[in-house]
Amino acid sequence: MLYIRLLLIQLESFMKHLLILISIFLFSSPLFGQSGKPQTIIIPTGSLGEMSEARIKILEKTLESKLDDHFAIVPKELFEEAQEQAFQEMESDECTEDQCILMIKEILQIENAFKMDLISEDGDTQISITWNDQDQKRVEEDYCEGCKTKGLRLMIGGLVKKLVGNRVIEEPIVVVNKKEEGILFREKSYFKFIKGGKKWFKSGDEKTMLKFEGEIENGVPNGQGIETFIDGFKYVGKFKDGEKHGQGTETFIDGFKYVGEFKKGKYSGQGNLTYTNGDKYVGEFKNKLPNGQGTSTYSNGNKYYGKWKDGEKHGQGIYNWSNGDTYKGGFIKGVRHGQGTLTLRNGNKYVGEYKDGKFDGYGTYTWGKGEWEGDIYMGEYKYGNRHGQGTYTFSYGGKYIGEIKDNKFWNGTEYNKDGKIINKIVNGKWTEQ
**What are the pLDDT digits (tens) for 229-266?**
999 999 999 999 999 999 999 999 999 999 999 999 99
**Phi and psi, residue 313, nearest 5°:** -65, 125
Query: Does 12 score more than 80 pLDDT?
Result: no
**Helix 2-28 / helix 76-89 crossing angle, nearest 10 deg:** 130
Q: What is the identity of the amino acid at 28?
A: S
Give the HSE-up count for residue 217: Cα atoms under 13 Å, Cβ half-sphere: 14
The structural domains of the chain, with segments of one domain joined by +, span 17-164, 346-432
**What are the pLDDT digits (tens) for 208-220?**
999 999 999 999 9
Q: How far apart are CA 391 and CA 378, in angstroms?
A: 5
* Topology of domain 346-432, CATH: 2.20.110
Q: What is the pLDDT of residue 134?
A: 67
- In CATH, the number for domain 17-164 is 3.40.50.10070
**Phi and psi, residue 183, nearest 5°:** -125, 135
Q: Stretch 168-193: mean pLDDT, rounded?
A: 72
Phi-psi region of 402 (alpha: psi -120 to 50; beta: other; left: phi over 0): left
Residue 298: CB partners within 8 Å, gap ≥ 6?
278, 279, 304
Query: Does 353 score more than 90 pLDDT?
Result: yes
Task: Say yes or no: do domains 17-164 and 346-432 share a fold.
Answer: no
> CA nearest 411: which of 396, 433, 429?
429
Contact call for residues 85 and 20 (beta carbons, < 8 A): yes
Q: What is the pLDDT of residue 25?
A: 43
Q: How far apart are CA 350 and CA 364, in angstroms?
A: 6
Higher pLDDT, 317 or 146: 317
